[in-house]
Amino acid sequence: MKATVLVDNTALFDRPYLAEHGFAMYIEAEGKKVLFDTGYSDALVRNAAGLKIDLLDLDYIVLSHGHNDHTWGLHHLLRLFLDAIMEGTAHRLPRLVAHPHCFYPRPKSPFPDIGAVLTADEVRRFMPLDLTSRPVQLTPNLFFLGEIERTVSFETFSPGPRRIVMPDGSVQEDFLVDDTGLAYRSREGLAVITGCAHAGVCNTVEHARRVCGEDRVTDIVGGLHLRGEGPQLDGTCDYLRGLGLDALHACHCTSLLAKVALAGAAPLKETGVGLRLEYGDR
């Protein structure tokens, strides 16, 4: 599997790409091309062009959850498809895979909505849409993890001011049950790819192990949603020490304080737009 970071809070040193508070990754695995998340703006489209990645030639778009910094780039990607149709440019429409809650409105004061800018019905007008809480095998060894089982005691999540509007119009606390990720079963072990890991990175890895039937973990890539000191950061560091990772690519919503702590528990690597990773096929 080959993977390239297209959107992140930082760009790699001496690389002329746009950085923003968001995440997106392009993946090639076993003959399939997958876009995981879309960032916040048109940075996705502009960075992909600079990296010579053709976003008009995708098999899947996968969304980690419905927040704007992971879904709003989809609007700009659909404009790219519309331009291709208008100009007669070669393209094919991918299948979009996400949790059923991914496109629900998410009011969070003072913002009217921090969720996806498009509705599920609007997306369906452009491409096939699979909304599922269950794992999906995208290739023989690449898995959409579905809804993450939350069993790790120190990975607690409080909705705080977050709210979600359900299809019946009721407004509920938002526990971000749509938070999910990808896992690739490589020769070295699992490469686990997260968007924000709101469900907890340890919960995510344990879920990936169950879904993929593989205990070894070689790398974790993506946002870990770790900010300040406390039991969750301490517990995560202890957990990562026991994994025997070959690398840890923590980025996006992982604070500097957290990265310093994580560097003492795992082989933390620099991550940003333009980073290319490769994992051996089984």
pLDDT per residue as tens digits for the range 16-72: 999 999 999 999 999 999 999 999 999 999 999 999 999 999 999 999 999 999 999
Residue type at 44 in one-letter notation: L
- Whether the Cβ atoms of residue 224 and residue 258 lie closer than 8 Å to each other: yes
Helix count and strand count (H, E) for the chain: 7, 15
**Helix residue spans in the chain (DSSP H):** 43-50, 68-71, 73-87, 120-124, 201-212, 231-241, 256-263
Give the number of other Cβ atoms within 10 Å of residue 109's Cβ.
7
CA atoms within 13 A on the CB side of 147: 14
- Whether the Cβ atoms of residue 150 and residue 117 lie closer than 8 Å to each other: no
Give the H or E element holding residue 276: strand 276-278
Counting every residue, how long is the chain? 282
Separation between Cα atoms, residue 157 and residue 154, nearest integer Å: 9
Instruction: Report phi then psi at 47, rounded to 5.
Output: -70, -40
**Mean pLDDT over the full length of the chain:** 97
pLDDT per residue as tens digits for the range 237-262: 999 999 999 999 999 999 999 999 99
pLDDT per residue as tens digits for the range 172-221: 999 999 999 999 999 999 999 999 999 999 999 999 999 999 999 999 99
Give the number of other Cβ atoms within 10 Å of residue 21's Cβ.
15
Separation between Cα atoms, residue 100 and residue 132, nearest integer Å: 6
Separation between Cα atoms, residue 144 and residue 176, nearest integer Å: 16
Confidence of residue 267 (pLDDT cuts 50, 70, 90): very high
- Percentage of residues in the chain having pLDDT higher than 70: 100
Domain borders along the chain are 2-278
Q: State the architecture of 2-278 in CATH terms.
A: 4-Layer Sandwich (3.60)
Q: Is the dihedral of CA 106, 109, 112, 114 positive or negative?
A: negative
Strand ranges of the sheet holding 189-194, from the earlier edge strand across to the other edge? 136-137, 142-144, 181-186, 189-194, 217-223, 247-251
